[in-house]
């Protein structure tokens, strides 16, 4: 759920956990509109085989990457990797990508068009559902992933040779309930959140075969597959993703009782080329001899340069026709229109199938820009206790969203942001290399860490490390702000008696003076339960509030 500019990686390094003392402030899934502002991209296992490896993904534009696909093992009812060696290599590369972009959620997608044949069986019995759910949780723990996406194509009707039965309608809900319970248990064990989503077809027939409201209650979002309205299976040529069909499909989900914030509109990064076309209007609605999918990458490199093809636009999507060839595809303008519809309808996000088909991220960026231009951060409610602070730090350039439309207020910050924030506040001065051996020269925070070390704003740890991947604690922030205030010649006379807090005597020596000052100056306050919680992690919302107070109360900035 995020942004459409390539915000610096430092901004992307923040996530959710703790909150300041404020009315209703809590960490967890309820802190944001569930599913709001997501930008989801599917990445297929086979993409790396053709050279599009995970390191080429436009991670700065995405909030969630769904790795497609895991299979259901018919013998055990659990999950299995389809391409064992390649999948493990891809998953490791995705985890490396997440380390560079900590805002990303990595999700395993199960099923898909070719591997949905066993869903009906595992969902048919309570034992089967519990076995599958436990396997999902175990898979996430084993591979260090953030959630599960069920791409069952399709309950009741089946597809691509997969079996379906009428009972799938209710069993689908029961399966999701079982998986959600398993993920909740895992959350308690691991101390982190796990997402659950589903991919759903763009048609009323699909909604009749599930229990839409019940499904929506169980998942973080439903990914509407807003494509394949026509293709090689059709009797006549047609547009892959016409806007009238997309709009009707979204409305059908809303009319079925699914909340707008639970919907992610899927956008294709591919089209179809029909050959041997006869009849129709400019090729639309004609008969054809053969058809196959084509990527946006191929369209740009080949079709758009073919002088025998003329360009047209209908129902707000482009197509080419000439020499008995008809090509329906997406371009930056058409994906922006779809993303704008998602924003206008206040949907929870947008998404893409499949990321390797747009290898330079052109379509992803265009859609993200349109979605983000609609109305600020979609996960920051106007009456949120941190709303004014978020706007303040955004306006001053101290923090931005994780994507164009999502701030992710509850996500906790990584260590890399510690120096970067104050370096920005100081005007991003340049300096040489730092001495921390765990700060690579090319890291986004390297120059900020060097500046902060040279100015005494950060001192690192006793073993000579900076620990950029560690979570930011409240006492670390207090110490940084205190040192920066001293550097700026600010008044440091304020102080508070830490023994007034039940955990005041647990504050380490290095942070006692800084915490006393921060509390006395009104920059930092105790938790709702009365604790100081100096060692607690700081969320993005908390960072924004602390920075606003620090700027206005200590530095006396507007």
Q: Could you give phi then psi for residue 109, rounded to 5 degrees?
A: -95, 130
Q: How far apart are CA 82 and CA 89, in angstroms?
A: 13
Q: How far apart are CA 195 and CA 349, in angstroms?
A: 15
Catalytic residue among 60, 153, 330, 542: 153
Q: Is the separation of the CB atoms in 303 and 327 below 8 Å?
A: yes
Nearest to 315 by CA among 230, 251, 205: 230
* DSSP 8-class letter at 107: E
**Could you confirm whether 153 is annotated as catalytic?**
yes
Cβ atoms within 10 Å, residue 383 = 8
CA torsion angle 382 385 386 388 (round to 10): 50
Q: Are strands 317-322 and 310-314 parallel, antiparallel or unpaired?
A: antiparallel
Burial class of residue 493 (count of CB atoms within 10 Å of its CB; 0-12, 13-18, 19+): exposed
Q: Is the separation of the CB atoms in 267 and 367 below 8 Å?
A: yes
* DSSP 8-class letter at 550: I
Q: Could you give phi then psi for residue 388, rounded to 5 degrees?
A: -65, -35
Cβ atoms within 10 Å, residue 382 = 7
Q: Is the separation of the CB atoms in 507 and 3 below 8 Å?
A: no
At residue 352's C-alpha, the angle toward residues 408 and 113, to 5°, is 125
Q: Is the separation of the CB atoms in 386 and 418 below 8 Å?
A: no
Q: Is the separation of the CB atoms in 367 and 339 below 8 Å?
A: yes
At residue 26's C-alpha, the angle toward residues 20 and 32, to 5°, is 110
Q: Is the separation of the CB atoms in 153 and 112 below 8 Å?
A: yes
Identify the three-state secondary structure at position 211. coil
> Which amino acids are annotated catalytic?
153
């Amino acid at each position: 759920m995020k942004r459409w500019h390539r915000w610096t990686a430092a901004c992307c390094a923040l996530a959710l956990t703790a909150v300041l003392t404020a009315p209703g402030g809590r960490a967890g899934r309820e802190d944001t509109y569930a599913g709001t502002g997501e930008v989801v991209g599917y990445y297929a296992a086979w993409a790396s085989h053709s050279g599009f490896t995970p390191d080429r993904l436009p991670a700065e534009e995405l909030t969630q990457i769904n790795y497609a696909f895991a299979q259901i093992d018919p013998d055990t009812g659990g999950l299995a990797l389809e391409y064992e060696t390649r999948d493990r290599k891809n998953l490791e590369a995705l985890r490396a990508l997440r380390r560079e972009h900590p805002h990303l959620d990595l999700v395993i997608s199960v099923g898909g068009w070719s591997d949905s044949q066993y869903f009906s069986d595992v969902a048919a019995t309570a034992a089967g559902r519990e076995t599958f759910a436990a396997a999902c949780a175990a898979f996430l723990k084993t591979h260090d992933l953030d959630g599960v996406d069920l791409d069952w194509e399709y309950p009741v009707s089946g597809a691509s040779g997969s079996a379906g039965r009428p009972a799938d309608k209710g069993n689908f809900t029961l399966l999701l309930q079982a998986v959600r319970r398993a993920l909740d248990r895992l959350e308690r064990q691991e101390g982190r959140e796990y997402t659950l989503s589903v991919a759903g077809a763009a048609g009323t027939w699909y909604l009749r075969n599930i229990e839409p409201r019940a499904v929506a209650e169980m998942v973080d979002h439903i990914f509407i597959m807003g494509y394949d309205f026509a293709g090689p299976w059709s009797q006549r040529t047609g547009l892959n993703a016409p806007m009238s069909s997309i709009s009707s499909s979204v409305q059908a989900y809303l009319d079925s009782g699914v909340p707008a914030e639970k919907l992610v509109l899927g956008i294709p990064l591919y089209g179809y080329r029909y050959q041997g076309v006869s009849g129709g209007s400019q090729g639309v609605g004609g008969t054809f001899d053969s058809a196959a999918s084509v990527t946006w990458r191929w369209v740009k490199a080949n079709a758009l340069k073919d002088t025998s093809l003329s360009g047209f636009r209908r129902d707000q999507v482009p197509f080419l026709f000439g020499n008995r060839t008809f090509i329906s595809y997406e371009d930056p303008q058409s994906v922006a229109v779809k993303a704008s519809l998602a924003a206008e309808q206040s949907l929870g996000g947008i998404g893409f199938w499949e990321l390797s088909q747009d290898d330079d991220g052109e379509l992803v960026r265009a859609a993200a820009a349109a979605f983000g231009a609609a109305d600020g951060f979609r996960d920051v409610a106007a009456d949120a206790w941190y709303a004014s602070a978020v706007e303040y730090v955004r306006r001053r350039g101290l923090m931005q969203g994780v994507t164009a439309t999502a701030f992710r207020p509850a996500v906790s910050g990584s260590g890399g942001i510690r120096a970067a924030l104050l370096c920005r506040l100081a005007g991003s001065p340049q300096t040489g290399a730092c001495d921390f051996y765990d700060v690579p020269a090319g890291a986004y925070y390297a120059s900020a860490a060097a500046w902060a070390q040279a100015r005494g704003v950060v001192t690192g740890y006793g073993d000579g490390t900076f620990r950029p991947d560690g979570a930011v604690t409240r006492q670390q922030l207090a110490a940084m702000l205190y040192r920066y205030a001293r550097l700026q010649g600010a008044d440091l006379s304020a102080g508070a008696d830490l023994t007034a807090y039940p955990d005041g005597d647990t504050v380490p020596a290095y942070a006692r003076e800084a915490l006393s000052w921060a509390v006395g100056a009104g920059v930092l306050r105790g938790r709702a339960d009365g604790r100081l919680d100096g060692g607690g992690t700081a969320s993005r919302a908390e960072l924004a509030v602390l920075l606003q107070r620090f700027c206005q109360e200590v530095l006396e900035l507007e």
